[in-house]
Structure 1
Amino acid sequence: MNGKAWVLTGILAVFALGYLLGQYPPVRFWDVVFWAGVVFLLSLMDVPLPFVGRVTMGFVGALAASTILWPNWAFVVGALGYFAPRPVWYKELFNRLQLGVSAGTASFVYYSLPSPLTAPFTALAYFLVNTLSVLFLLWTLGMNPRSMWKRQYRSFAIAYVGLSPLAFLMAELYRSWGGWSVLVMLISMVYAWQMWRYQTRLIQAVNAMIYSLVNLLEARDPYTARHSERVAAIAVDIGREMGLPPEDLDLLERAAKLHDIGKVGIPDAVLRKTSHLSPEEWHLMRSHPVMGEVLLWPLFPYLGQVGPGVRYHHERWDGRGYPEGLAGHDIPLLARIIAVADAYEAMTSDRPYRRGKSPEEALKEIQDLAGVQFDRDVVRAFERAWRKDPPWRRKERFLTVA
């Protein structure tokens, strides 16, 4: 960890000492042992996050313990109950501190507020300390907190809201019926965990399917190696320069990777032809955007609305493109971005019948076509991205780095 991360760890340690050294009424030792065991069992039920790390069901037990125990012992249960699969020591230190402080803060809020407000604010306190401390740590490591929240932790927030009431139910059962009632309730927690894992695996399966489809297409033509990946990298950088939110960047990336998928329906004799195409062959080749949308249509519930980006990426700003001859802002923005990215990738790639242009030549041509073939705003964003010298600027470097 860097210096800022250690500062954050130090702040958490100060809160931890505050809870541990605070003056609170005594609690039954059995309560501490029992809830530490519940947190341990629930923390075995982990769910991988999309980009980095994992979350566990342990937060349900820690939140329940926060309403049973005073802040000092809630901290102990949250910190020591967590199961860590042999992490690096400083990562384990940070994880245990932030989980313990989350539980201690939730307990402090629970015992400080009047009864009607305790449940929602206790849950909110745990969630905020837990999530914000991790996001702050990721910021110290050079990641964008806003982007990480939207792409990684927002889905966790939905699960947290749905599962938090179970924590308060567990606590009430424990007060009324004892520990056995909580252990029986853990069965429902196993079901919730499996459903959460199923959702995560479904997302992973969709991403794997995208890569498989792209690899299937590019395996048919060695001259388009990594074409779709490079187009996606260019498109995402353009979208970022245009200020697109993370969810739109994700959709843009998927659409760019799949923009040529309709070519799987084009015969090799046409797709790999090195001489000029006949009018009939050219008509067949121009059908691939519509064919791609049709092929992907059953997957839209999982991929998102990638269809417009796939269908319209060969439309032109002046209305002379295909398949529908759309013009100007009638062309969906994602398609306008992919059009520029696709053109640059094609210009700077070697083909059997020509050598690729230099990056400078390709940039100049795209600039000349702004307002004719391409959206001027997209071209300006492309210029800004190009001048930052990203790996995709030269294909040889992209193939080496990617």
Structure 2
Amino acid sequence: MNGKAWVLTGILAVFALGYLLGQYPPVRFWDVVFWAGVVFLLSLMDVPLPFVGRVTMGFVGALAASTILWPNWAFVVGALGYFAPRPVWYKELFNRLQLGVSAGTASFVYYSLPSPLTAPFTALAYFLVNTLSVLFLLWTLGMDPRSMWKRQYRSFAIAYVGLSPLAFLMAELYRSWGGWSVLVMLIPVVYAWQMWRYQTRLIQAVNAMIYSLVNLLEARDPYTARHSERVAAIAVDIGREMGLPPEDLDLLERAAKLHDIGKVGIPDAVLRKTSHLSPEEWHLMRSHPVMGEVLLWPLFPYLGQVGPGVRYHHERWDGRGYPEGLAGHDIPLLARIIAVADAYEAMTSDRPYRRGKSPEEALKEIQDLAGVQFDRDVVRAFERAWRKDPPWRRKERFFTVA
């Protein structure tokens, strides 16, 4: 960590000492032990958030504990909400401090406000301390907090709002019925978590199988090896320039990686032909977008709605594309983005019958085709991404970096 990060850690440590050294009424020893155990158990239960990663459920226990314990012990219990198999000491120090201070602050707010306001403001206090301290740390490390909020913490906020009532319910059960009622309540939570993990692993297995199939497809033709991987990288950068949210970028990446999956049904004699295709062969080749969507349709529950991006990536802005001859904004946005990414990758790649264009030549051709073959807005976003000189700009550099 740099100097600014240590300053932030020091500020959290000051708050921690303030809570630990404060004068508060005594609490029952077993209350502390019980909630420390609940927080530790829940901290082991990480759940996947859509498109952005994973978050532990330790905050649910810490938030509940902050309404049972005074700030000093809420800090101690909250600090247990961080679990890492092989932690780096300074990372563990920061994480335990910010989680403990989050719980301590939530407890302070809970016992300071009148009854009607306690629940929402207690939850808000925990969320703000937890989130803002991490975002500030990211800023000290040279990252963009706004980008991280959009990519990760906005989804965490949604999960937090959804799970916070569970914390207050746990606390109320504990007051009314004792610890056993909380443990009984945790049984369906643990079961749901196990089912969530199972579904996540199933989705990961499906994705791995599909991407392996794509790699196998591209291995049939050495000239298109890793084509979809580069198309996906280009498409994601275009989508980012267009301001697509993280969930759409994730969907775009998957659709781009799978856009040529329908070619598994194209015979090698057609797929690898170096001369002009006959009308019958060309008709067969043009069927691959529809074949791809049909192939992926049973997997949409696991892959998301990648179908439009796969089916329509050969449509043209002027309506002269295939398979349906859609035009303009009738073409789904993801397909319009993939069309530009696919074209650039193909233009800058060698083929048996021609050498690939230079990046500058390919950019010029795509610009010339804006409003004819491609969406002008997508082309402008592509140009902005291209001028940042990303690895995909030159094929050889992309595969060296990748």
Moved more, 145-154 or 167-176: 145-154
Instruction: Evaluate the alpha carbon distance shift between residue 188 and residue 294 of structure 1 in structure 2; reply closer, same or farther with a 3 A threshold.
Output: closer
> How far apart, in 2, do the equivalents of 1:184 and 1:204 lie?
31
CA distance in 2, matches of 1:29, 1:290: 65
349-358 vs 274-283, greater mean Cα deviation = 349-358
The alignment partner of 1:54 has SS state of: strand
Q: CA deviation at 1:17?
A: 2.1
Q: In the alignment, which residue of structure 2 is the partner of 1:310?
A: 310
Relative to structure 1, the CA distance from residue 381 to residue 184 in structure 2 (aligned partners, 3 Å threshold; closer, same or farther) is closer
* Separation in 2, partners of 1:218, 1:195: 35
Q: How far apart in 1 are the matches of 2:330 and 2:232?
A: 22
Contact 1:235 1:253 in 2 (8 A): yes
Return the offset for 1:341: 1.0
Alpha-carbon deviations, 1:8-34, whole Å to 9, x = none?
322322221221232222222332233
Preserved CA contact (<8 Å) 1:57 1:193: no
Kindly state the Cα deviation for residue 82 of structure 1 after the two structures are TM-superposed: 4.2
Structure 1 residues 194-203 or 274-283, which shifts more? Answer: 194-203
More deviation in 190-199 or 85-94?
190-199
Distance 1:191 1:161 in 2: 21
Change (3 A) 1:315 1:170: closer
Is the 1:109–1:122 Cα contact (8 Å) retained in structure 2?
Answer: yes
2:50/2:155 contact within 8 Å kept: no
**Match for residue 30 of structure 2?**
30
Q: Give the Cα–Cα distance (whole angstroms) in 1 for the partners of residues 305 and 52 of structure 2.
A: 26
Q: Return closer, same or farther for 1:54/1:92 CA change in 2, 3 Å cut-off.
A: farther
Tell me the CA shift for residue 194 of structure 1. 1.6
TM-score, scaled relative to structure 1: 0.91
In the TM superposition, what whole-angstrom CA distance separates every residue of 1:112-138 from its partner, at most 9, and x where no partner exists? 222223223322322332233333333
- Rounded to whole Å, the distance in 2 between the matches of 1:270 and 1:372 is 28
Contact 2:50 2:247 in 1 (8 A): no
| Alpha-carbon shift at residue 69 of structure 1 (Å) | 0.8
Moved more, 267-276 or 197-206: 197-206
Could you tell me how far 1:101 is from its partner in structure 2?
0.9
Classify 1:228/1:184 alpha carbon distance in 2 versus 1 (closer, same or farther; 3 Å).
Answer: same
Alignment CA distance shift 1:80-1:216 (3 Å):
same
Q: CA deviation at 1:54?
A: 4.7
Which structure 2 segments of 5+ residues have no match?
none
Kindly indicate whether the alpha-carbon contact (under 8 Å) linking 1:228 and 1:258 is maintained by their aligned counterparts in 2: yes
2:336–2:378 contact (8 Å) kept in structure 1: yes
Residue of structure 2 equivalent to 1:226: 226
Q: 1:337 to 1:181 in 2, by over 3 A?
A: closer
1:343–1:17: structure 2 CA closer, same or farther, 3 Å change rule? same
Contact kept, 8 Å, 1:50 with 1:152, in 2: the verdict is no
Q: In 2, Cα distance between the equivalents of 1:49 and 1:244?
A: 18
Q: Distance in 1 between matches of 2:385 and 2:82?
A: 43
1:392 and 1:274, CA in 2 relative to 1: closer, same or farther beyond 3 A?
same
Q: Confirm or deny: 8 A CA contact 2:52 2:151 kept in the other structure.
A: no
- After TM superposition, give the deviation of residue 388 of structure 1 in Å: 1.3
Aligned equivalents of 2:81, 2:295: Cα separation in 1? 49
Partners of 1:83 and 1:392 lie apart in 2 by 37
Residues 125/386 of structure 1: CA separation in 2 closer, same or farther (3 Å cut): same
| Residue in structure 2 matched with residue 288 of structure 1 by the alignment | 288
* Structure 1: stretches of 5+ with no match in the other structure: none
Deviation at residue 342 of structure 1 after TM alignment: 0.8
> Match of 2:80, SS?
helix
Contact map agreement 1:318 1:327 (CA 8 A) in 2: yes
* TM superposition shift of 1:379: 1.9
- Tell me the CA shift for residue 228 of structure 1: 0.4
Aligned sequence identity (%): 99
Between 59-68 and 168-177, the greater mean CA deviation after superposition: 168-177
User: Quick check: 1:255–1:306 contact (8 Å CA) kept in 2?
Assistant: yes
Q: CA deviation at 1:360?
A: 1.6
Counterpart Cα distance in 1 of 2:173 and 2:154: 30
Post-superposition offset of 1:288 = 0.9
| Cα separation, partners in 2 of 1:239 and 1:171, compared to 1, 3 Å | closer
Q: Does 1:131 align with 2:164?
A: no
Q: Distance in 1 between matches of 2:214 and 2:142?
A: 30
Measured against aligned partners, the alpha-carbon deviations of 1:158-187 in whole angstroms (never above 9, x if no partner) come to 444444333333323333343344344433
Q: Measured at CA, do residues 200 and 133 of structure 1 come closer, stay the same or move farther in structure 2, by a change above 3 Å?
A: farther
Range with bigger deviation, 28-37 or 286-295: 28-37
Aligned pairs (5 A) from 1:72-151: 72-80=72-80, 82-151=82-151
Offset, 1:49: 6.0
Looking at structure 1, the residues matched to 242 and 163 of structure 2 have their Cα atoms a distance apart, in angstroms, of 37
Aligned to 1:11: 11
String of CA shifts for 1:223-257, please: whole Å, max 9, x gaps.
Answer: 11110011111111122222222222222212111
Q: CA deviation at 1:208?
A: 2.5
Q: Which residue of 1 aligns with 2:327?
A: 327
In structure 1, distance between residues paired with 2:130 and 2:368: 51
Give the C-alpha shift of residue 144 in structure 1.
4.2
Aligned counterparts of 1:198 and 1:160: Cα–Cα separation in 2: 22
Tell me how far apart the structure 1 counterparts of residues 179 and 314 of structure 2 sit (CA, whole Å).
64
* Residue 98 of structure 1, CA deviation: 1.1
Segment of structure 1 superposing worse, 238-247 or 284-293: 238-247
Separation of aligned partners in 1, 2:81 and 2:296? 46
Residue 6 of structure 1: how far off its partner (Å):
2.4
User: How far apart, in 2, do the equivalents of 1:384 and 1:189 lie?
Assistant: 46
C-alpha distance after superposition, 1:336-383 (max 9, x if no partner) = 221111111111111122211111221222222222222222222222
Aligned residues: 402
Is the deviation greater in 69-78 or in 364-373? 364-373
Between the aligned partners of 2:47 and 2:336, the Cα distance in structure 1 is 37
Q: Distance in 2 between matches of 1:99 and 1:139?
A: 18
Give the whole-Å Cα distance in 2 for the aligned partners of 1:81 and 1:247.
Answer: 28
